[in-house]
Amino acid sequence: MSVKKMGTQTVKLYNPPTILTTASIVGPKEGEGPLGSYFDLVLNDDLYEEKTWEKAESKMTKETIKIALEKIKLTPEKIDYYFGGDLLNQIISSSFAARELKIPFFGLYGACSTMTESLSLAAMIIDGGYADYVIAATSSHFSSAERQYRFPLELGSQRPPTSQWTVTGAGAAILGSTGTGPYITYVTTGRVLDFGIKDANNMGAAMAPAAADTIIRHFKDTGRRPKDYDLIITGDLGQVGKELAIQVVAENGYDISGRFTDCGVEIFDLSSQDVHAGGSGCGCSAATLCGYLYSLLVSGSINKLLIISTGALLSPTSTLQGESIPSVAHAVAIERSI
Amino acid sequence: MSVKKMGTQTVKLYNPPTILTTASIVGPKEGEGPLGSYFDLVLNDDLYEEKTWEKAESKMTKETIKIALEKIKLTPEKIDYYFGGDLLNQIISSSFAARELKIPFFGLYGACSTMTESLSLAAMIIDGGYADYVIAATSSHFSSAERQYRFPLELGSQRPPTSQWTVTGAGAAILGSTGTGPYITYVTTGRVLDFGIKDANNMGAAMAPAAADTIIRHFKDTGRRPKDYDLIITGDLGQVGKELAIQVVAENGYDISGRFTDCGVEIFDLSSQDVHAGGSGCGCSAATLCGYLYSLLVSGSINKLLIISTGALLSPTSTLQGESIPSVAHAVAIERSI
């Protein structure tokens, strides 16, 4: 029997890796939001001096990783693995970044759950003794996502109130086998759930059950309670999904209200930035974690964080073929000291 | 320093997981090929009683996993993790299979390298003590891939001689922490390389450098030589890429000729099946490994296998935007006894 497994979906890291550093780059709109001062770079133009939004997104990924490497004076050659993915078809943002960096690369696709998916795998690979330095990174871009998943921006399609705004942003974390924290201590891996929601403009509702399932499972597996965390934060449920998640988790005996929020709700000012239900995209939890939350941990403003990035696993093709939206959520516990 | 790392890109598994069983399903054309008798199920119709090819592909993935589970009398609840991905946008074949199975799911995108990418991660996660049972699975489908990556089949576009034929097939392997082999003993993880090839109809040439790089790296890292393996096999270089890979590896001091072939060359009869340079797709190395090669290992026809699935990390969008084709290749060593 596996000795590191707790319950059915959680592993405890006995040699918890340190998040040595993080970096984040965001677009202009995200820079104007409430977390604007926490990012390493705010772009003036979301084309980032490239000819296409897709190339801009890949550059954002690559440059974010480079900033992180520079912060701790590491070269790419020192990195054992790069775990990354993004929303674009065939994860070209990440693959093209990996081409420049020449680090052994594990490509992931977890939709907007990619930040914690990459952190989960990176953490286990380090804890298990297979690596000393691992990069976990992801990105999204409003303009590249919008035209791939929905409509050409030039159409000016109206957005319903439940829709979310894909964050233009990238986040990268470098994990190390030695260090003084913040540490990744637990990893709870999500199952793919589907409650039959078919509205691709209401992904918060589609993802809320998966988020709730992983949160509940984390508490059951570890024996922890909500009060053991200073902050519990989901990836991009937005305002609609956030309320649903609180409710489902409460119905299962865990009151997370008061210490729970969502990166999609925090990264924009919902009252003034015209983003409707909030932010979304891989970059949402990535930039919020690698910008804002990491600095809260390092400064001691919070000591224990449970972050649960959430992914809606739909494709434009699956929607056209009448499928509902399966979702997944992966949780990692990050603690300032152990 | 990580003690399990050898050289720069390889890890040695000190508690090597056993491949407890495998399963494979292929389409009619693959069933007519030289390996036809090795697959668990050959479909009569590549729609597999579904309304679309995408749904058929997802069903193939799910049913392949179910066949594997049945072979060793395991239920999905016993499986700790499912590592999977495929070629479809947002890996819907795998995500939708994961929805049915409700196993904690790590979605991957490695293009046609997915079989060994999933085996690499599954093997490390078991070796590290995080899991007892893990599924590694992937699939591809000629008709869903063709219309997503190239042209609607109804167009009847002509295919150039260097083009390959996407295998309709799925393969699943169940790895366990205890067992009597075949064992996964080494994992060599590839870097993303790009030698500037832009012809999406010549992916064998685009992928050959990545395959050669990983093979050479495996020998350098482990100190092994080609003669230490009974068979060295790449994923889907096809006839063109296979010859290039032999040449590049030879230029670096390792003569693999005589014990080297490619799944894309083996799965079809190139002289009679009109597949031009050979098979491709995630399902190519997946079905070849999980059907043919696994049975060679179990029967003792071969004792040591090095398999290197190869992925071309292009997208239709990246091609339209003038990008060349980055590629990656991941190697795993599989040995009948240790």
Look up the domain containing A45 and give its range.
Answer: 5-176
**Candidate from B9, B51, B130 with C-beta closest to A5:** B130
Statement to judge: residues A159 and A244 lie in one domain: no
Using one digit for the tens of pLDDT, what is the confidence trace for A179-221?
999 999 999 999 999 999 999 889 999 999 999 999 999 999 9
B265-273 mean pLDDT: 97
Q: What is the mean pLDDT of residues B234-256?
A: 97
Same domain? B48 vs B162: yes
On whether both B131 and B11 belong to a single domain, the answer is yes
Report chain A's mean pLDDT, rounded to a whole number.
Answer: 97
Please say if the pLDDT value at position B283 is more than 70.
yes
In a shared domain, residues B134 and B257: no
Choosing from B159, B176, B193, the residue where a domain stops is B176
pLDDT > 80? residue B2: no
Residue B215 has pLDDT above 80, yes or no: yes
Give chain B positions within 8 Å (CB) of A95.
Answer: 192, 313, 326, 328
Rounded mean pLDDT of B185-202? 95
* Assessment of whether the complete model's pTM goes beyond 0.95: yes
Q: Residue A1: what pLDDT?
A: 58
Same domain, B151 and B205: no
pLDDT (average), residues B98-115? 98
Asked if A64 and A23 touch (Cβ cutoff 8 Å), the reply is: yes
**Last residue of a domain, which of B109, B143, B176?**
B176
Domain boundary among A176, A194, A215: A176
Complex ipTM more than 0.95, yes or no: yes
pLDDT in tens, B5-17: 999 999 999 999 9
pLDDT (0 to 100) of residue B314: 93
If asked whether residues A79 and A192 sit together in one domain, one would say: no
Query: What pLDDT sits at residue B1?
Result: 58
pLDDT tens digits for range A244-281: 999 999 999 999 999 999 999 999 999 999 999 999 99
Q: Give the per-residue pLDDT at A3.
A: 76
Indicate yes or no: CB of B107 within 8 angstroms of CB of A313.
Answer: yes
For residue A114, what is the domain's CATH number? 3.40.47.40
Phi, psi values for residue A6, rounded to 5°:
-120, 125
Per-residue pLDDT of A9-35, as tens digits, reads 999 999 999 999 999 999 999 999 999
Same domain, A57 and A168: yes
pLDDT band of residue B222 (cuts 50, 70, 90) is: very high
Interchain CB contact of A198 with B (< 8 Å): no
Q: How far is B60 from chain A (nearest CA, A)?
A: 16
Residues B127 and B224 in one domain: no
**A169 and A190 housed in the same domain:** no
* pLDDT-based confidence at residue B57 (cuts at 50, 70, 90): very high
Task: Share the mean pLDDT of chain B.
Answer: 97
Buried b (16+ CB within 10 A) or exposed e, B174-198: bbbbebebbbbbbbbbbbbbbeebe
Interface contacts (A, B; CB < 8 Å) = 200
| pLDDT at site B200 | 86
Strand pairing category for B279-280 and A81-86? unpaired
pLDDT at A102 exceeding the cut of 70? yes
pLDDT digits (tens, 9 = 90+) for A169-178: 999 999 999 9
Same domain, A26 and A122: yes
**A126-159 burial by CB neighbour count: b if 16+ within 10 A, else e?**
bbbbbbbbbbbbbbbbbbbbbbbbbeeeeeeeeb
CA distance A109 to A103: 18
Query: What is the tally of structural domains in chain A?
Result: 2
Backbone Cα Rg of chain A: 18
Do B251 and B217 belong to one domain?
yes
| Co-location of B111 and B251 in the same domain | no
